[in-house]
Chains A and B, each alone.
Chain A
Amino acid sequence: MSVKLVELDRVSVQYRGFEALSEISFPIEAGDYTAIVGPNGSGKTTLIKAILGLVPFEGQIIFQGTNLSAFKTTQHIGYLPQKISFFDPWFPATAKEVVLSGVYCCKKFPKRLSSSDHRAAEKAMGTLGVQDLQGRPIGKLSGGQQQRVLLARALVHRPQLLILDEPTVALDPQTREAFYSTIQKLNKEEGVTILLVSHDVGSAGRYVSKMLYLDKKVVFYGTLEEFCRSPEMSGYFGAGQHLICHRH
């Protein structure tokens, strides 16, 4: 039987008087690889922010049986933010310093790094194939390398759930495929549960196990198989559904 890692129960978010999300309910089971898709402004990023505890919401988010408000989720969630070219290319930080900043979430004041933190950072960089870049300034790396370093930062504290917000926007097609296969490996081999927000539903469909179609409310939630058979989703996507399901 699958174990529920996170359960959203009628989660609503008001944003400047508008309802950005309305009564969202769905489970995230351990080992799932779920894609959240939907049009612009459908509330995908807002949903992620609610799960990360960054925006106030109504309803309940239950994390491993405990209410979100009483649970320090940051220790259990890894997060890869949307933009990767946000930082200054001259920022004085080595790739390893950036990866190490991923362990701060689990530290009490005054935060000190131990040798096991350094080992964890080296291991995470090894898993993502960027161990040789440890001492290189982050701004001097290519887009794909930066993305891997930021992914290592998200994974260094061994989270159970990894949230990726449009991770492939700034990547060229080749790097994008390599990135997706890395994520798939993490999911299959390391057992990390993945929640992926993506516009790139075509690529995502090749790897994910569950689909959530969001448009301020849950339009569809189910396995990829159910998504591909859904006449309602055919209505939304038309021929695109076949591209996602790779049945063309």
Chain B
Amino acid sequence: MEHLFQQIQESLQYAFIQRAIVAGCFMALGCSFLGVFLVLRRFSLIGDGLAHVSFATVAIALLLHAQPMVVSIPLVSLASLAILKLNEKARVYGDAAIGLVSSFGIALGVIIASTAGGFNVDLFSYLFGNILSVSTFEVWMTAGISLVVAVVTMLFYHDLFAITFDEDYAQVSGVKVRTVNQVLILLTSFIVVLGIKIVGTMLVSSLIILPAIAALQVVRSFRAAIVLAGAIAVFSVIAGIFISYLLDLPSGATVVMVNFAIFIVLFVSQSFRLGDARG
């Protein structure tokens, strides 16, 4: 046990581990706050969809020799608004709208990569980002966006609750439903773009979905759902990074595994509680 702590202490001396933990925690908080609203509104796959869109936008940036983040943020934001619009206006359901835009993104990315050639390796490194290679600039960007998410969640908390619980009633109460929806989906697209470089496509969508559904197994109130989802996400990132360091495993996947294990524990404990209540 002592040896384990010594190893963890040792790992903390590396700047790349420090940056990974700071960026990972901020990313976890931003994703999990948004996740509670997205999951409850049946929009949980939006992270996955937008990550696929950013695959195409990164390909465009590499083709144009531009900064991937600079190209991706506006384009992915546009795609997120398109998903919202499709869902509102056309005869397209929310989940199908995400599927539509994400398959378009993947197809476009693949076509650009295959015709331009030469940057496939680069492109794939964006698809499976690496938390251990996060730069100081990316740490600052992640912290900034996550703080924006936290502040917006606090400022619009009641509106977000009203819309998530009962969208029609929220509208009757004078909540600007469209504006709040747009803000929510734009913040999701910002965090997804940052996430593809830092934690990879897979981890971004799982950081949105897993902490939220794990927390929803046990909470009774909305506020508790947000707080617990944030705590689960941060714990998973820290534990995941240390475990991956100690066992020499891929860090992103380990974080997902820790998150998944927490979900299973809470799910099983909740099932037992319900079983006891019935019995």
Contacts and interface: CB of A to CB of B under 8 A. Distances in A.
Interface string A163-194: 00000000000000000000000000000000
A5 to B, nearest CB: 18
Nearest to A105: B173
B225 A86 contact: no
B131 to A, nearest CB: 29
A79 interface: yes
A81 interface: yes
Contact of A137 (B162, B168, B172, B220): B220
Interface string A126-159: 0000000001110000000000000001000000
A145 to B, nearest CB: 15
A111 B220 CA distance: 23
B165 A110 contact: no
Contacts, number: 74
A135 B221 CA distance: 8
B220 A92 contact: yes
Interface stretch (A32-40, A93-101, A235-243): A93-101
Given A104-B175, A137-B220, A93 B161 contact: yes
- Chain B interface, >50% SS class: helix
Nearest to B158: A111
Given A54-B172, A86-B166, A88-B40, A94 B158 contact: no
A191 B165 CA distance: 30
B124 to A, nearest CB: 38
B172 A74 contact: yes
23 contacts: A54-B172, A72-B174, A74-B172, A79-B169, A81-B166, A81-B168, A90-B216, A92-B219, A92-B220, A92-B221, A93-B221, A94-B222, A97-B161, A97-B223, A98-B165, A101-B161, A101-B165, A101-B166, A104-B162, A110-B155, A111-B159, A135-B221, A153-B169
Interface of A: 52, 54, 72, 74, 79, 81, 86-88, 90-94, 97-98, 101-102, 104-105, 107, 109-111, 113, 135-137, 153
Given A90-B216, A92-B221, A101-B169, 15 more contacts: A52-B172, A81-B168, A92-B40, A92-B224, A93-B221, A97-B161, A101-B165, A102-B173, A104-B162, A104-B175, A105-B173, A105-B174, A110-B154, A110-B156, A137-B221
3 tightest Cβ-Cβ pairs between the two chains A and B: A105-B173, A92-B225, A111-B158
Interface of B: 40, 154-159, 161-162, 165-166, 168-175, 215-216, 219-225
